[in-house]
Chains A and B, each alone.
Chain A
Amino acid sequence: MNNDFDGDPFADDSSDVETTSLVSLADDDILTNEEKKKAIESWNSGEKSLKKIIEASVGVGMDGRSKKGIAVKKYLATLKVKPVASQDYQKKTDAFVLTEANKEYIRAHSSTSKPLELARELFNNQNLTNLSTESRAVTDFYNSLDPTLRFVKNNDEGAPQEYRPPKTHAQAVARVNRYVLEGLDFNKMSQKEEHMMTALIRHLHVHRLVYMMNEFNSSRDRELFESSLIRYIFDKPDLTEEELDSYMNLCADIVNHTSMQRDLEVLKETRDNAIATDGKVSMAIVEAINNCYSAMDSNLKRQQKSLETLQGKRSERLKNKIRENASIVQLVELWKNETRRLQFIQLAEVRKEKLRDEVKNLDSMDELRFQLWGMGRDEVIDY
């Protein structure tokens, strides 16, 4: 509905009946034509608040209780216009509509966060409550998702659910961001990062990995394994299957090391208790502690060695790949293609232009600084 008032009550044309009647209706009206005009303009500009219209027409500080304010209200009523007064109830907002990006984010994070947490993260507002429209919209959408994708509170000591690797880029980014500080921004992904995420999804779907993840009895161990693995591989889309296996072994070692650390703490506690109660320690405990230490030590060495091997192999492979790409045969192949050829020529032209500038510069240079005999100015560019 168009509520704009499109008549002109102040036109000079005396034959305009409505104008005449409007003026006559306001015998006791204290409003000037100018004030009336301002009130109409304010309404037409989209202002719905009575107070604001009064302020715009008769001056700041006036409200609906003042004489002029009442006059404005009456005048607008004559025009069948009803601004919103402060005592009128106003619905604060309509139902919140989620964008596609919001929905993608919720899908990606639904397995790791509750709807309220999602809403707070999504809209970057920690003051949101369960009753906020944004929260309610997120909750509605969250509830519409496949139950298997929704957040399940994990009991640390309980058996974790079946491992679900990420399936979309958004889910993969969410996993990365969970374990890597300042990881990736889903809304500003470069082509390279998208490539990385595609590879990560592929890597996390490897059967051996899923199997290993499901074998963990503790969700803490599983999380440690996943975090280590993602941390290592998320930015290495070029990993071979063998390297991926090695990384999995490395991460398994990391989990084992933590597990041994826990065992060691228990053994130490037992030893301390034994000293406190009996004043001596049994040989078995001492040996167990020593064994634990040596096992941890060899585990660490193994980790270090694996890492060195992995880094060395990969850097060698990448070097070889660059070498393959930067070969003369490759150069000839590129030259054959017209588009590539023109790109080469364009680059060469840029250099040539610099050369031309330099010739001009040297030509005009003082002879104490530079002298050249025996080359043509154009020749030196085109030779």
Chain B
Amino acid sequence: MWDEGAQQKIIPVYQDYNVIAKGLKGDLDDKNAKITLIQFLRRNLGFTFELISGMRLLPQQEIVLKSLFARDTALIVAGRGFGKSTIIAMFCCLYPIFYPNSKICLISANFRGARRIFEAAEKMVKGPFAYMLQECFPTEPRRLNDIISWKLENGSEVFALPLSNGEGLRGTRASAVFVDEGLLISQEIQENVIRPFLTAKQNFLEEAQMKEREDELIKAGLITETDRISFPRNKYLVCSSASYDFDYLYKTFQSNIKMITDDKIVRTKDDSTYVVIRSSYESLPKDSFIDMTQINAAKADGGEETDYFKREYQARFTVGGSSYFNMKKVADCTVRAGEFPTTMLRGRKNHQYILTIDPSYSSSKNSDFFAMGVYELVPDSRRIILVHSYGRAGMTLNDHYKYLVYLLTHFNIVWLGIDASGTEFIDSFNESVIAADKGIKLGTLTADLKSDEYIKELRILKNEYNQTTRNIVYPQPFSGDTIRRMNEYLQAGINAEKVWFASLLQVNENAFNNAMRHRPDAQITNKHGKPIDTEEQIYEQDSWIHETQKQLSLIEVKSTALGTMQFDLPSHIKNSTKDDRARRDNYTCMLMAYTASKYYFDMLFTEVEEIQSTFEPFAI
């Protein structure tokens, strides 16, 4: 479907430049050759990109690229594997060449994402056949902790920035802002932090001088209004996968379409122009770069009908309430960017935290995560807030021990919940050298809180719970009945806004600076076992918030032949054997955490009367 919309009235009609170029007769002098060549190259972007980089664009990619060049506001919603990031990288290579003094800012959900696109562009420039592109980017990019930039000799610059609440980015200006993974960046950040980058015109002085000169010429009758030179306007370009229909991305999608199609809007030449593209994987040619193996695997067993498939591959916006957990509520229960609490590398003073563990001992990289979650407790309102997460597949027990020690020493853990079938982890941890070095020994609670005599068990719990001796480990039993109850309890908790997700640490300037000042006293490793610095850890923690929400969104309820309810991933996703397959272990941690919070709060606040049984003598 192709809708030109009502804004075409203010778009000038472009002549086919190839016809003009064909009309050039004989050999050209140097000046004319340069002018006509650059115009020819600018009007044949696909050809130009192939010529200077040696990489061939698909016709559809060229259409998207031209749209990004042609419009001031663009929204590209496309499925996985469409090559959104590649198109951004191509734009970063071409736009600064054709528009001197332009400044392109790359923003993604985290700095790693922005860096990845920047590096994709760098790879194109340094490609084996990109000799001409290399001439345009003669210097090496400048890499600092909080910015990567690449300057061209024509004054243009491409730079990638980390997200922030704006304090640190105040004064940043760009002529084009490219936002990748737009669905992960909140409305506040987009409107209050990123858009202000575009408030200043880059070529204002030149533009003003030109306008002045044109006014004189028009006055003299030498040119007309239509002959005025048009300068490129600042651009706000967003690429993303599809989201739920309650997300900001969908609102933007709808409003941009309205701006294009509404013929009641009075438009002038100076108004912003829009383009919106939504493209499923099915729109790409079968023999293109898209890998159909994974898509076919995802489509198997009815996977094509799931919301996940529709969003991720078909780029379709889906209704939020169709998963077991209300995803609109989940989104509502995420602390707004810039507010507290954020994700944390250290616990806050005078706050209590629950730690839950879903162990997995497999050494395979495509196995389940060994997952841990740290939840801040808000006793007044009986809420929990996810502030720290951990998930590693195929790592050694030692790595997990080290991380557990880190969590126990950096957060005030008042309760530790673990899958009852995996309590040997606690036993082996207690025996480990790592625990012995830190003088940590965890004690297990024996109260059976799932029994019918809950109050009686609560009394036992109160007696044996001891935070000083770290007698805080509760083995959470998992059976058909408890799983159902825990899920229903979590669902109710989410609907009642009792389960919250922390805001992103990287966009909160104060929290970020605080985290950088008070770095953890532990060596943290990434999923490959390599040490990571505090900054990387912050980005990782922020990404876990989205990952946990994604895991929640994938949970679906099924009923077995015996009538037991199962809360699991869709079978087509579950059957994947890739290392980056979808998992649900952080969701399990949340399940345990919310149940654990109930036990903990009950233990704190429930008055359990001691039954005094005495013998009263009586006369016969």
Interface residues, chain A, with chain B CB atoms under 8 Å away: 322-323, 326-328, 331-332, 335-338, 341-342, 344-345, 347-349, 351-352, 354-355, 357-359, 362-363, 365-383
Contact = CB atoms under 8 A, between A and B. Distances in A.
B40 A376 contact: no
B127 to A, nearest CB: 12
Given A371-B278, A374-B274, A328 B44 contact: no
B30 interface: yes
A336 B30 contact: yes
Interface stretch (B61-69, B190-198, B561-569): B61-69
A348 B59 contact: no
A267 B17 CA distance: 80
B2 A359 contact: yes
B301 to A, nearest CB: 21
Interface stretch (B6-14, B356-364, B378-386, B577-585): B6-14
B322 interface: no
Contacts of A352: 18, 44
Contact of B40 (A326, A337, A348, A375): A348
A357 B132 contact: no
Contacts of B131: 322-323, 326-327
B315 to A, nearest CB: 9
A349 B70 CA distance: 20
Nearest to B130: A326
Contact of A380 (B5, B27, B33, B67): B67
A372 B275 contact: yes
Interface in B37-61: 37, 40, 43-44, 46-47, 50-51, 59-60
A375 B70 contact: yes
B142 interface: no
Contact of A344 (B7, B40, B275, B277): B40
Contact of A370 (B18, B36, B40, B283): B283
Contact of B43 (A323, A341, A374, A382): A382
Interface string B316-350: 10000000000000000000000000000000000
Contact of B60 (A326, A341, A362): A362
Interface in B255-279: 256-257, 260-261, 273-279
A377 B280 CA distance: 20
Nearest to A381: B16
A372 B18 CA distance: 26
Interface of B: 1-5, 7-8, 11, 13-18, 21-22, 24-30, 33-34, 36-37, 40, 43-44, 46-47, 50-51, 59-60, 62-63, 66-67, 69-71, 129, 131-132, 135-136, 256-257, 260-261, 273-280, 282-283, 314, 316
A332 B37 contact: yes
B28 A363 contact: no
A373 B24 contact: no
A376 B47 contact: no
Contacts of A372: 1-3, 63, 67, 275-278
A161 B26 CA distance: 59
Contacts of A322: 131
A254 B257 CA distance: 75
Contact of B257 (A365, A373, A379): A373
Contacts of A362: 2, 60, 63, 283
Given A327-B135, A358-B59, A382 B37 contact: no
Given A323-B131, A332-B30, A373 B16 contact: no
A355 B63 contact: yes
Contact of A359 (B46, B63, B136, B273): B63
A316 to B, nearest CB: 14
A332 B2 CA distance: 37
B248 to A, nearest CB: 19
Contacts of B22: 342, 345
Given A336-B28, A336-B30, A342-B22, A380 B66 contact: yes
Given A332-B33, A371-B1, A374-B71, A382 B276 contact: no
B70 A338 contact: no
A347 B47 contact: yes
Candidate in A328, A365, A369, A374 with the most chain B CB atoms within 10 angstroms: A374
Contacts of B15: 382
A331 B316 contact: no
Given A336-B27, A375-B66, 18 more contacts: A327-B135, A341-B24, A347-B47, A355-B46, A358-B62, A359-B63, A362-B2, A366-B1, A369-B282, A372-B1, A373-B256, A373-B260, A373-B275, A374-B275, A376-B8, A379-B8, A379-B14, A383-B66
Contact of A338 (B8, B25, B276): B25
Contacts of B273: 374
B405 to A, nearest CB: 51
Given A322-B131, A380-B67, A368 B7 contact: no
A382 B46 contact: no
Nearest to A362: B2
Contacts of A338: 24-27
Contacts of B283: 362, 365, 369-370
Best-surrounded residue of A368, A369, A373, A378 (most CB of chain B within 10 A): A373
A381 B14 CA distance: 9
A295 B495 CA distance: 85
Contacts of A355: 46, 59, 62-63
A383 B43 contact: yes
A250 to B, nearest CB: 29
12 contacts: A332-B33, A358-B59, A363-B1, A363-B2, A365-B283, A369-B283, A373-B261, A373-B276, A374-B275, A375-B71, A376-B8, A382-B16
A345 B30 CA distance: 19
Contacts of A335: 28, 33, 36-37, 40
A222 to B, nearest CB: 42
B275 A375 contact: yes
A83 to B, nearest CB: 67
B143 to A, nearest CB: 25
A356 B36 CA distance: 23
Nearest to B258: A373
Contact of A374 (B26, B27, B260): B260
A381 B13 CA distance: 11
Contacts of A369: 279-280, 282-283
A11 B172 CA distance: 110
A320 to B, nearest CB: 10
A332 B32 CA distance: 10
A374 B265 CA distance: 14
A341 B28 CA distance: 10
Contact of B1 (A331, A351, A365, A377): A365
Residue in A352, A354, A370 with the greatest tally of chain B CB atoms within 10 Å? A370
B40 A336 contact: no
Q: Which 10 A-B pairs have the closest CB atoms?
A: A358-B59, A367-B1, A370-B283, A374-B275, A326-B131, A374-B260, A382-B14, A363-B2, A348-B44, A371-B278
Given A370-B283, A372-B277, A373-B3, A357 B47 contact: no
B283 to A, nearest CB: 4
Contacts of B24: 338, 341
B238 to A, nearest CB: 14
Contacts of B66: 375, 380, 383
A354 B57 CA distance: 11
A341 B21 contact: yes
Contacts of B282: 368-369
A376 B11 contact: yes
B275 A331 contact: no
Contacts of B278: 370-372
B274 to A, nearest CB: 5
Contacts of A323: 131
Nearest to A322: B131
A348 B62 CA distance: 13
B132 A345 contact: no
A341 B275 CA distance: 33
Contacts of A332: 30, 33-34, 37
A326 B30 CA distance: 18
